């Protein structure tokens, strides 16, 4: 579909009045994609920061043409409604990305905006099929846009962000955002988080920083960030690594020059991928080997992640059981229950005085991110030695 004016229609009169726009300034086009959902183009101006050759303008930012940003909606609390304005639990996903965009401030001086509803579900329902669909859409869109924004449920946002960071190599900003309160709640955080994510993705200073997250005025690294509180707005943190920047008074401010995580491995994966089965076992006092036996015998597991106590602590009887049970090439990642800190190689168990060869130190990664990295290693056909090399730097 071309971008000729006849393909666009003005936004609704109510939307224009609410945001003080003139119908001649904003136009919207709805077009069908190859998938079963709609995509929309919200046009403010007709230029872009990326030229036809794909190069980036070197002119001062205030003199550059506006970037073109694509929002991909996937659902989550940010797209949810509750029964009352004070309810912050028991809500359901009920808003489209089009409705979300209508709630944010004027962006006519910031970017050209396009958006597409890829999914519209709670993030707890996301699985390999949905994550693959989202990744493929991002890959398809990156050649055509200056930045990508993804609205996502907060419960598993950190997992999707880590996966996207580990499977897409780009200098363009990919920014995840969500909310802790549904759209119907008093002081809902969704519209502001989405607005900030769009501005962050539009900023040339966001290039070369990897996948980012934008919530509660803070900019985090999708590689390290984790949800630390089940209820609070200020929930996404990476205690040891810190935030990479913040958003204050409509300004994007970074603390450091552009850089990506030092331990990052980017995997070249096909459009369709079969995820290896890798369960996570959560350690606790009195942990019984029967749990391990149940997991290993009833799941066609290709690897295992253990959320250990402390920095790699796991009952000695359980370590011995694993050593006596699994094959010589079966990878076992020792991660940690605690949000901060790391599991070093020196903390890995010894079996009868000899280092447990199947054990892999999870480094700074939490169990859910360690699981994704192990899955990617297995799908790449890495042997145990190569997997240890990948985890050695995380």
Given a cut of 70, whether residue 50 has pLDDT beyond it is no
Determine the average pLDDT of the residues in 29-55.
51
Catalytic residue among 154, 160, 167, 308: 154
Sign of the torsion formed by the C-alpha atoms of 152, 203, 196 and 10: negative
Catalytic residue among 77, 96, 156, 213: 77
Q: What is the pLDDT of residue 20?
A: 45
Query: HSE on the CB side for 124, CA within 13 Å?
Result: 4
Q: How far apart are CA 189 and CA 183, in angstroms?
A: 8
Q: What is the pLDDT of residue 116?
A: 96
Q: How far apart are CA 27 and CA 100, in angstroms?
A: 17
Pick the CATH number of 280-392 from 3.40.30.10, 3.40.50.40, 3.40.1010.10, 3.30.499.10: 3.40.50.40
Q: How far apart are CA 384 and CA 326, in angstroms?
A: 13
Verify whether residue 160 is a known catalytic residue: no
Tell me the pLDDT tens digit for each residue of 154-202.
999 999 999 999 999 999 999 999 999 999 999 899 999 999 999 999 9
Rg (CA), the chain: 23
Tell me the pLDDT tens digit for each residue of 228-242.
999 999 999 998 999
Q: What is the pLDDT of residue 140?
A: 97
Determine the average pLDDT of the residues in 105-109.
86
Verify whether residue 184 is a known catalytic residue: no
Q: In this structure, what token pair is assigned to residue 316?
A: 């000695």
Mean pLDDT rounded to a whole number for the chain: 88
Tell me the pLDDT tens digit for each residue of 361-383.
999 999 999 999 999 999 999 99
Q: What is the pLDDT of residue 6?
A: 39
Nearest to 237 by CA among 164, 140, 340: 340
Phi, psi of 104 (to 5 degrees): -95, 160
68-254: which CATH topology? Answer: Rossmann fold (3.40.50)
**Residue 123 annotated as binding?**
yes
Domain boundaries, the chain: 68-254, 280-392
Whole-model pTM above 0.95?
no
Helical ranges in 143-284 per DSSP H: 157-167, 190-202
């Amino acid at each position: 579909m071309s971008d000729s004016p006849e393909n666009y229609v003005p936004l609704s009169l109510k939307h224009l009045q609410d945001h003080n726009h003139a119908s001649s300034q904003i136009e919207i086009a709805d077009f069908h994609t190859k998938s079963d959902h709609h995509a929309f183009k919200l046009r403010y101006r007709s230029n872009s920061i990326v030229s036809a050759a794909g190069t980036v303008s070197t002119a001062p930012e205030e003199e550059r043409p506006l970037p073109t940003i694509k929002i991909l909606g996937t659902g989550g609390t940010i797209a949810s409604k509750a029964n009352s304005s004070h309810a912050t639990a028991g809500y359901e996903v009920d808003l489209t990305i089009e409705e979300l965009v209508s709630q944010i401030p004027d962006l006519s001086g910031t970017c050209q905006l396009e958006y597409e509803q890829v999914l519209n579900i709670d993030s707890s329902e996301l699985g390999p099929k949905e994550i693959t669909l989202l990744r493929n859409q991002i890959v398809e869109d990156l050649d055509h846009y200056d930045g990508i924004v993804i609205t996502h449920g907060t419960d598993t946002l950190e997992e999707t962000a880590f996966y996207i960071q580990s499977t897409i190599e780009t200098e363009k900003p990919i920014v995840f955002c969500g909310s802790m309160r549904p759209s119907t709640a008093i002081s809902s955080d969704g519209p502001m988080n989405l607005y900030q994510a769009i501005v962050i993705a539009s900023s040339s200073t966001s290039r070369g920083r990897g996948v980012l997250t934008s919530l509660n005025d803070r900019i985090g690294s999708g590689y390290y960030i984790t949800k630390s509180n089940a209820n609070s707005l200020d929930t996404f943190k990476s205690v040891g690594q810190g935030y990479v920047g913040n958003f204050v008074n409509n300004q994007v401010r970074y603390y450091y020059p552009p850089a990506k995580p030092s331990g990052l491995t980017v995997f070249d994966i096909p459009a369709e991928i079969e995820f290896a089965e890798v369960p996570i076992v959560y350690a606790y006092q009195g942990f019984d080997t029967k749990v391990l036996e149940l997991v290993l015998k009833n799941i066609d597991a290709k690897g295992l992640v253990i959320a250990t106590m402390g920095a790699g602590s796991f009952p000695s009887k359980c370590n011995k059981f694993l050593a006596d049970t699994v094959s010589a090439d079966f990878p076992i990642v020792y991660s940690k229950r605690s949000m901060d800190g790391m599991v070093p190689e020196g903390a890995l168990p010894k079996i009868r005085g000899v280092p447990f060869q199947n054990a892999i130190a999870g480094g700074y990664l939490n169990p859910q991110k360690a699981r994704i990295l192990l899955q990617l290693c297995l799908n790449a056909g890495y042997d145990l030695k190569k997997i240890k090399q990948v985890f050695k730097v995380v």
